[in-house]
Amino acid sequence: MTRWPSDYSDAWTLAAAVERRGVGLHSGGEARVRLQPSERPGFHVGWLDRPDLLLQRLQPEQVCATQLCTTLQLEGRRLATVEHLLAALAGCGVSQAEILVEGEEIPLLDGSALPWVEAIAEAGLRRLGPRPQLRLSGGPITVQHGASFALALPAEGLRLGAAIEFPQPAIGRQVFSLELTPERFVAEIASARTFGFLDQVEQLRAAGLIRGGALDNALVCDGEGWLNPPLRHPDEPVRHKLLDLLGDLALVGLPQAQVFAYRGSHGLHTALASALAAAAAPLAASAPLAAAVSSP
């Protein structure tokens, strides 16, 4: 069994490269992803089929679409469905890695972050030193989209919470929160799968979306129940919402904060990530790492 870092106070990268391939949810196309160690802080995306292009450091400003998944615009190329992979990396304690992709979408795999956690465990982790911490220098941050909101309060450590409310009795109102550590992420969040609704699935298919969606990579709700039980947790939908929140926050890095999202969506989460990027001051844990953070 993998020994995960005890918390997020240190910087970690992968100990070796690891590769996975699979089908993209929206395009239905085959994609390949290689994760490899990085000496630079943050997550950096490059292309397996274009090794001549420079790797881009991920940041919230690259978000260009948030319908169903988080899509980034990376200098002329788009990359969709980054959130579950980023949740797995950040959740497991990885603060820096290179993500090399062939294709336009990160494979959905089983719809959760678990296959990525297994890939990270296979690669192993390497400790680099103290991690520069993202702290909210200007007090609480709130983001509101209609009836949805997210807020971040300064705190020691990282506490994540989410609440969802759906009229469908199979889901209803669910609340979940935890003091996040890599071990708790792996045990309580990583395996929660993405979910959708039967009527929506038909509409999206007709619109040419979710071509790679199937009953083996998403929970499908018909209102009263689930087409593909059993659930991995009784409250799997809200746990997945928390997984999505974590993946979107990973675009800026994990803050020292208490973060809560009510009826979250990728649009709401990535707006919060942008607000965090603007408000959070990277406090140097050590001089060399601080210098690396502020360099382009």
Count the site residues for Zn ion by CB under 5 A. Answer: 2
Shortest Cβ distance from residue 251 to Zn ion (Å)?
Answer: 14
Span 65-124, contacts to Zn ion by CB under 5 A: none
Rounded distance between C-alpha atoms, residue 57 and residue 95, angstroms:
12
- For residues 26-65, which are near Zn ion according to CB under 5 A? none
In the shown chain, the binding pattern of residues 166 to 195 toward Zn ion, with x for contact by CB under 5 A and - for none, equals ----------------------------x-
Burial 37-49 (b: 16+ CB within 10 A, else e): bbeebbbbbbbee
- Annotated active-site residue 266? The verdict is yes
Residues numbered 232-251 forming contacts with Zn ion, rule: CB under 5 A: 244
Least distance (Å) between residue 210 CB and Zn ion: 12
Q: What are phi and psi of 123, to 5 degrees?
A: -75, -35
Q: Which is nearer to Zn ion, 70 or 256 (CB)?
A: 70
To which H or E segment does residue 10 belong? strand 10-14
- CA-to-CA distance for 160 and 162, rounded, in angstroms? 7
Given the complex with Zn ion, which of 162 and 280 has the nearer CB atom?
A: 162
We find the least distance from the C-beta atom of residue 116 to Zn ion, in angstroms, to be: 12
* 3-class secondary structure, 163: strand
Output the smallest distance, CB 228 to Zn ion, in A: 16
Choose between 101 and 219: whose C-beta lies nearer to Zn ion. Answer: 219
Nearer to Zn ion, 86 or 275 (CB): 86
Catalytic residue among 44, 84, 266, 269: 266
DSSP for 232-254, please give it: SSTTHHHHHHHHHHHHHHTTT--
DSSP 5: -
Helices (H), 24-102: 83-92
Active-site annotation, residues: 266
* Site residues, Zn ion (CB under 5 A): 194, 244
